[in-house]
């Protein structure tokens, strides 16, 4: 196996104690996309993820639960394993730091460093944060609080073992400077370099006395100590290769890793601790450590105490696995921070997926059924030479763009390039108007060209999108009659625009992505707030080709799963109303508001723009109440609004809240108060 033929990618190993959230899902989905892409391109891929199971927090949680730590870990591990199945993660191995073989490798490395006198024992005194399991210096904790988690720290003095990390400072600086791809993105590389060039790198305490922490890997040279959890955890990237690859003998060939994907908060441990550990062990350094950004949720930091932790399981159940995977990588350039909101996800699903690739497939297959007896015809003479040339250029360029994007981890650029090809094809069908060509026998050959070009583009789009949305792209290729085995490397022809598709017999099935509908500007309270539909669908087509009716689902109803997607979609059952806790309800701030003015939004029969007073402030709200009310009758009314909803744009107009109204799809009555109360009064 030559170096370029293999691809070793890792995610961080997640703390077993954590409840899996969108941050965990983000890294793992990104790694899966890379792994799937390089497998298709013929590289031998090893994709590793797993769990970090030692440390004080696990020990404490197990004690609280009255069970031994290993039982505690065994109980918790499946919540990650099950999530990965649900997210369609095709990892090659799953490591747990409590695996016997992993523990042996950690001990072997510790012994090796100890024998080389790269580990020594010394007194240590500092401020210890139990939550973060680390020491801080005097200047870090000026206010008696941990600078990281803001919890109180305690003064501890103890003997510990230290790894001579400091002596590798210059070598590490040199490595970063001479290896452009080592720390990515560029801004993070500069941060690490800046820190290394201005501060003295100290040695690293790699032990914890058993008197304080017993749940860890025992030091091979002193049974009174266990290993510091980071030294244990980082070794997983190498120890896994000893016992987890299918062919164990091939394991070592995967080192050094091509990509360690990590979040920005754990870049230092990877770039500095891990790199110097590898130097000390005489092992080569990974090719790239890529630090991605963090998700906030509706503009706020995600945290248990805020109760806004996004559960990926719920997202998959509500929106479907592929829509969620797509959104994570499409919304934010990889490497930057991003904000998660369900409203943004609905917009992206409707515009890019339901109206984009989903609709392109639907209209293309409808035309092939109608005008070519369900068989993709061979191309004839040009129908619209200029657009055909543009499509050919974009399609020919796409594989190179993809390879570049997957090499630099610019996932979003790839999705953008794919989206541009979808738009070009839509424009092509609109302008070529096959339904008109079909009426004129002289245009019969041109009609074939249009059908052929559209089908060919879809074939290439399916191959390009497969790593992002594997399940749906398998459906797409099945519907197109294109039999491709995505579990193996694809032949080069799969990425070539010229590859023929003529003669394939299509098998039109259910739409790939159901559109998600919600009420605009109003909200129905039925257990959960309903997701607003912000951006309207672009008209599917103003042509006689009626695309297959797209089932409309509400954001609280799971779309058809892949298993059922090939069968005609039955009307989804009415969604059950999940119960919410009082705490969840209290997060919604309801207030009274007095309507100061009201006017219709041009070109909308439903939307009315309101200026309302909340006593101390004035707001603009766009509400979908125009079918029920004339603007004039609204002025002066005191209504109830959701006051803490993130502002959103409806038909390009900012709405800073949501009006409450009774009714289901149709508004039947606005909520007002029985007695006149001051605007801005809290509603409970």
- Is the Cβ of residue 265 or residue 617 nearer to ligand MSP in the bound state? 265
DSSP 53-65: --SHHHHHHHHHH
Burial 149-176 (b: 16+ CB within 10 A, else e): eeeebeeeebebbbbbbeebbeebeebb
Q: Is 315 in the site for ligand MSP (CB under 6 A)?
A: no
Options 15, 37, 127, 327; binder of ligand MSP; rule CB under 6 A: 15
Residue nearest to ligand MSP (CB): 263
Intra-chain end-to-end CA distance of the chain, in Å? 66
Find the binder of ligand MSP among 34, 89, 233, 534 (CB under 6 A): 233
Give whole-number Cα distances, 185 to 191, 263, 329, 493, in Å.
Answer: 10, 12, 16, 33
Structure tokens at 146: 């941990």
| 13 three-state secondary structure | strand
Q: Which span (10-18, 77-85, 190-198, 666-674) binds ligand MSP, by CB under 6 A?
A: 10-18
* Residue among 9, 23, 231, 357 that touches ligand MSP (CB under 6 A): 23
Q: How many residues interact with ligand MSP (rule CB under 6 A)?
A: 20
Give the integer Cα–Cα distance in Å for 270 and 296. Answer: 23
Alpha carbon of 466 to those of 173, 326, 476, 562, 565: distances in Å?
A: 39, 11, 10, 14, 17
Residue keyed to tokens 């095709």: 90
Output 23 or 624, the one with its CB closest to ligand MSP. 23
Q: Which two tokens stand for residue 608?
A: 């009315």
Q: Kindly tell me which residue out of 7, 8, 14, 163 binds ligand MSP, with binding defined by CB under 6 A.
A: 14
234 binds ligand MSP (CB under 6 A): yes
DSSP 302-315: --TTTT----HHHH
- Please name which of 512, 509, 638, 499 lies closest in space to residue 567, comparing C-alpha atoms: 509
Distance between CA 233 and CA 10 in Å, rounded? 13
Residue numbers 530-559 binding ligand MSP by CB under 6 A: none
- Closest approach of ligand MSP to the CB of residue 608, in Å: 37
Closest CA relative to residue 684, chosen from 614, 617, 581, 592: 592
**Residue choice 18, 253, 420, 528 for contact with ligand MSP (CB under 6 A):** 18
* CA dist list (Å): 613 to 29, 126, 552, 597, 609: 44, 54, 35, 10, 13
Tokens of residue 99, six digits: 């695996």
Binding mask 251-270 for ligand MSP (x = CB under 6 A): -----------xx-xx----
How is the chain split among helix, strand and coil, in percent rounded to 5?
A: 40, 20, 35
Interacting residue with ligand MSP among 294, 435, 486, 629 (CB under 6 A): 294
Stretch that binds ligand MSP, among 12-20, 143-151, 153-161, 450-458 (CB under 6 A): 12-20
Q: Which is nearer to ligand MSP, 240 or 425 (CB)?
A: 240
Window of 15-23, 373-381, 583-591, 658-666 that interacts with ligand MSP by CB under 6 A = 15-23
Residue (14 or 497) nearer to ligand MSP, CB: 14
- Binding marks (x or -) toward ligand MSP, 26..65, rule CB under 6 A? xx------------------------x-------------
Does 333 interact with ligand MSP (rule: CB under 6 A)?
no
Question: In angstroms, what is the minimal distance from the CB of 37 to ligand MSP?
Answer: 21
In angstroms, give the least distance from the CB of 289 to ligand MSP. Answer: 11
Residue ranges binding ligand MSP (CB under 6 A): 12-15, 18, 23-24, 26-27, 52, 233-234, 236, 262-263, 265-266, 294-295, 302
């Amino acid at each position: 196996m030559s170096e370029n033929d293999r691809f070793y990618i890792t995610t961080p190993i997640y703390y077993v104690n954590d409840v899996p959230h969108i941050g965990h899902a983000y890294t793992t989905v990104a790694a899966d996309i890379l792994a799937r892409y390089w497998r298709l391109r013929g590289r031998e891929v090893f994709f590793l993820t797993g769990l970090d199971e030692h440390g004080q927090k696990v020990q404490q949680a197990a004690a609280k639960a009255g069970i031994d730590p290993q039982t505690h870990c065994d109980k918790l591990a499946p919540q990650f394993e099950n999530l990965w199945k649900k997210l369609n993660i095709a990892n090659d191995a799953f490591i747990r730091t409590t695996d016997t073989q992993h523990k042996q490798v950690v001990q072997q490395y510790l012994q090796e460093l100890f024998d080389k006198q790269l580990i020594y024992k010394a007194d240590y005194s500092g401020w210890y944060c139990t939550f973060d399991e680390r020491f801080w210096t005097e200047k870090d904790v000026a206010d008696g609080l941990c600078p990281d988690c803001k919890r109180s720290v305690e003064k501890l003095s103890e003997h510990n073992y230290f790894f001579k990390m400091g002596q590798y400072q210059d070598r590490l600086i040199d490595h970063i400077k001479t290896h452009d791809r080592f720390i990515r993105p560029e801004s993070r590389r500069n941060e690490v370099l800046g820190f290394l060039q201005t501060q003295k790198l100290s040695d690293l305490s790699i032990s914890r006395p058993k008197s304080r922490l017993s749940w860890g890997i025992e030091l091979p040279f002193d049974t009174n100590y266990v290993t510091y959890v980071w030294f244990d955890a980082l070794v997983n990237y190498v120890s896994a290769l000893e016992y987890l690859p299918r062919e164990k003998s091939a394991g070592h060939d995967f080192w050094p890793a091509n990509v360690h994907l990590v979040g920005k908060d754990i870049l230092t441990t990877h770039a500095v601790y891990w790199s110097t550990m590898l130097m000390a062990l005489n092992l080569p350094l990974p090719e790239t450590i890529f630090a991605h950004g963090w998700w906030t949720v509706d503009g706020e930091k995600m945290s248990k105490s805020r109760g806004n932790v996004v559960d990926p399981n719920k997202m998959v159940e509500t929106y479907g696995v592929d829509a969620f995977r797509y959104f994570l990588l499409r919304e934010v350039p990889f490497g930057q921070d991003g904000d998660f909101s369900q409203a943004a996800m609905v917009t992206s699903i409707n515009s890019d997926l339901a109206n984009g690739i989903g609709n392109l497939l639907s209209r293309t297959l409808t035309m092939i059924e109608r005008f070519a007896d369900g068989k993709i015809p061979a191309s004839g003479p040009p129908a619209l030479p200029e657009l055909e040339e543009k499509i050919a250029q974009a399609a020919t360029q796409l594989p190179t763009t993809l390879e570049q994007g997957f090499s630099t981890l610019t996932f979003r650029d790839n999705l953008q390039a794919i989206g541009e090809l979808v738009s070009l094809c839509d424009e092509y069908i609109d302008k070529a108007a096959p339904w008109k060509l079909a009426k004129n026998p002289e245009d019969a050959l041109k009609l074939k060209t249009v059908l052929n070009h559209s089908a060919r583009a879809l074939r290439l789009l399916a191959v390009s999108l497969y790593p992002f949305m594997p399940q749906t792209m398998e459906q797409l290729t099945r519907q197109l009659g294109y039999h491709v085995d995505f579990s193996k490397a694809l032949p080069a022809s799969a990425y070539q625009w010229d590859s023929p598709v003529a003669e394939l017999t299509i098998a039109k099935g259910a739409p790939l992505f159901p559109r998600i509908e919600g009420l605009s500007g109003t909200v129905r309270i039925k257990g959960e707030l309903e997701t607003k539909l912000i951006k309207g669908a672009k008209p599917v087509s103003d042509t006689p080709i009626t695309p297959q009716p797209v089932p409309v689902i509400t954001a609280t109803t799971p779309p058809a799963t892949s298993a059922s997607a090939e069968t005609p979609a039955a009307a989804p059952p009415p969604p059950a109303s999940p119960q919410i806790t009082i705490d969840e309800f209290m997060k919604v701030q309801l207030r009274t508001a007095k309507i100061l003015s009201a006017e219709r939004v041009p070109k909308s029969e439903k939307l009315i723009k309101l200026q309302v007073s909340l006593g101390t402030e004035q707001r603009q709200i766009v509400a979908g109440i125009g079918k029920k009310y004339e603007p004039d009758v609204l002025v002066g009314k005191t209504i109830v609004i959701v006051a803490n909803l993130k502002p959103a744009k409806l038909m390009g107009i900012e709405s800073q809240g949501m009006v409450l109204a009774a009714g289901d799809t149709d508004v039947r009555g606005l909520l007002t108060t029985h007695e006149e109360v001051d605007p801005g009064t809290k509603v409970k």
